[in-house]
Amino acid sequence: MKKKCLLIIIILSLLIILAGCNGQGNLKVVVYDQQQNLISDIYVGLYTSDFQHRVRFAYTIKGEADFYGLRSGIYAVRIVGNNIEKETKVRIQSQETNYIKVTLSK
Amino acid sequence: MMRIFNKSRVVILILLFLLLISMPVDAVSDLEKEIAKRNLKRYTERYGKAKLKPRVRNKVEKIFNKLASKAEKDAPDIDFKLHVVDTKVLNAVYLGDGHVMLFEGMLKATENRNQLAAVLAHELGHGVNDDIQDSIDLIQGIRLGSLLIDYAKDGQVNQEGPGFITALSWQLLQKGFSRKQEREADRYSVFLLEESNYDPAGTIGLMKVLKAGQERVNDSELLELFSSHPNVNDRINYLAGLVSKLKAAKELYYSPIATTRRLTTGLLRNDISVIYSTYSEMVHNNINLEKFKDNEQLIKIRKKIKEWQGQYRLSYSLEIRNQVEGTARVAITFFAIKNNVKQKFKQHKFKSHKKVKIHQKKKLHKFKKFDQLEKNGVFAIDLINEEYGWKVLRGPIMY
């Protein structure tokens, strides 16, 4: 009986861990200029952590670009606009909305 | 009696020959395979395989695979393979049965990826156009003609054996491709480069490299390429014309602006099919036309435009606000001229026709500025460059 309980607990724990790993989260990128104004039309590309493949992209509207339903994990982010390019990495966690605030300046 | 019998055999042979050449050939023929194999062996034994640095090999293979994967769609029966041989000769050849041979001299002479892609795309063009088989058919036709004459003369045929294929393969190498075949391969290379996201102007750059090589080198072996290819200057002119036409067409039909223009026309005509046709395959896979019609955001915008059209004469401008890695953000700005302003404006009387035009332009500009639809009149569109051109992925979204 004890063994069965232990087995069930282990399976449940594994399921929770797996569900946690495969969960989905959101990302909101907010882009400012040097004067801290929100800027539109900035490219925000979301890539696999090694920048090999683009997962999604968006252009900002009033400084914001939203990515919903992203699989949890580490992503690379490339932000391009006004002849400036910035790169960063972000960890997306399950059931959470992650924020990145970027100031585009030379 | 014997003569009649011989003549009837000749007629049967001719008929058989005509029947054979009129049959469509889809797959690579056994003869082409054999010839390709022999010529591959001949070149490899003569020059040996090139010992490329891993970085260079990867670069060449990456470009070749990218081009070959597209070319194989045009010639599904061919599996293209690349061989690089160790020689300074400025050349590349298509040997048949998908075998493309690049000479290291040519690899080193190219100045960038676009030029290297142009060399490979040209040879792939010979493969796609089935030029080896056409040349085989031509040579065989000539040989068969002479055999038939021999046969008709004395009833004897001095033919075939293994020497025949060797002679044919050697003849093919000697003869090279015809000018028409070269031109067709040049043409194909321009479109293949474009389709594979290389700059088609690489073909022109390549020709310039070849021309410089031609002027610099006196070695007859190094000039092997030029002996069989049409005049380099002619090729440069032909390719420059083709590339500029392609660029103009691309600008007109395959640019973020062109797609947004179609979308805007659809919005102004309230034509949902036109609007839907500008959207990406990703959107089409998720939403069909019926569901697309019910998109709330789009309904709102179409209503707004209809409302404006009731009050104003609408005009619009398009502007690329950003373009990164095969994606683009385009802004549509709607302008309006109030109908009553339009009428008042028409009532103006001007003395000279020329003056009218200048004055009209200034006035119109003033009115447009005055009646610009400020915040509500500007929309953002996000586009992506897909296989069949630029398509809308997101939008219109109000700024």
Domain containing residue A80: CATH number: 2.60.40.10
Structural contact between residues A28 and A100, judged by C-beta atoms closer than 8 angstroms: yes
User: Are B200 and B294 in a shared domain?
Assistant: no
Give the position of tokens 């952590």. Answer: A49
Residue A16 has pLDDT above 70, yes or no: no
Asked if residue B269 and residue B242 are part of one domain, the reply reads: no
Give φ, ψ of B268 to 5 degrees.
Answer: -70, -35
For B108-146, the pLDDT digits (tens) are 999 999 999 999 999 999 999 988 888 777 776 666 655
- Give the distance from residue B84's alpha carbon to the nearest chain A alpha carbon, in angstroms: 28
Strands A97-103 and A24-32: parallel
Q: Are residues B355 and B336 both part of a single domain?
A: yes
| Number of separate domains in chain B | 2
Last residue of a domain, one of B250, B285, B319: B250
Assess whether the previous peptide bond of B396 is cis (omega < 30° from 0).
yes
- Residues of A with a Cβ under 8 Å from any B Cβ are 40-43, 45, 54, 57-59, 61-62, 80-81
Would residue A97 count as lying in a domain? Answer: yes
Of B250, B268, B287, the one marking the end of a domain is B250
Q: Is residue A12 part of a domain?
A: no
Mean pLDDT is lowest, of B16-25, B79-88, B328-337, for B16-25
What pLDDT, in 10s, does the model give residues B260-279? 999 999 999 999 999 999 99
CA–CA min distance B226, chain A (Å): 41
Residues B70 and B186 in one domain: yes
Q: Domain check: are B205 and B285 in the same one?
A: no
Average pLDDT over residues B307-332: 90
- Which residue among B324, B331, B399 places its CB closest to the CB of A43? B324
Asked which of A48-62, B352-366, B380-394 is least confident by mean pLDDT, the reply is: B352-366
Find the mean pLDDT for residues A76-91. 91
Residue of B nearest to A39 (CA): B399
How far is residue A53's CA from residue A51's CA, in Å, rounded to a whole number? 6
Q: pTM of the full predicted structure?
A: 0.53
Please indicate, yes or no, if residue A52 is contained in any of the structural domains.
Answer: yes
Residues B226 and B101 in one domain: yes
Q: Could you list the residue range(s) of the whole structural domain that residue A55 is in? A: 24-103
> How high is the mean pLDDT of chain A?
87
Q: Which CATH number do you get for residue B364?
A: 3.10.450.100
pLDDT the model gives residue B367: 46
Cβ contact (<8 Å) for B321 and A59? Answer: yes
Between A105 and B94, the more confident residue is: B94
Tell me: do B134 and B221 sit in the same domain: yes
- Quick one: average pLDDT of B269-297? 91
Residue B199 sits in the same domain as residue B330: no
Residue A19 lies in a domain: no
Is residue A13 one of the residues assigned to a domain?
no
- Please report which confidence band the pLDDT of residue B372 belongs to, taking 50, 70 and 90 as the band edges: low
Q: How many CA atoms lie within 13 A of A75 on its CB side?
A: 27
CB contact under 8 A, B329 and A41: yes
pLDDT tens string B137-180: 777 666 665 555 555 556 555 555 556 666 666 666 666 788 88
Closest in A57, A58, A61 to B399, CB measured: A61
Same domain, residue pair B292 and B154: no
**Residue A8 within any structural domain of the chain:** no
What percentage of residues in chain B have a pLDDT greater than 90? 40
Structure tokens that stand for B37 in this block: 């194999």
Residues of B in contact with A67 (CB under 8 A): none
Give the largest Cα separation in chain A, rounded.
67
Range of the domain at B137: 2-250
The continuous run of DSSP H or E covering B329 comes out as strand B327-338
> In this structure, are B105 and B246 located in the same domain?
yes
Both B157 and B263 in a single domain?
no
Average pLDDT for A66-71:
93
pLDDT grade, residue B218 (50/70/90)? low
Both B246 and B263 in a single domain?
no
Mean pLDDT over each residue of chain B, to the nearest integer:
79
Contact B391, B281 (CB under 8 A): yes
Asked whether the beta carbons of A44 and A29 are under 8 A apart, the reply is yes
The number of folded domains in chain A is 1
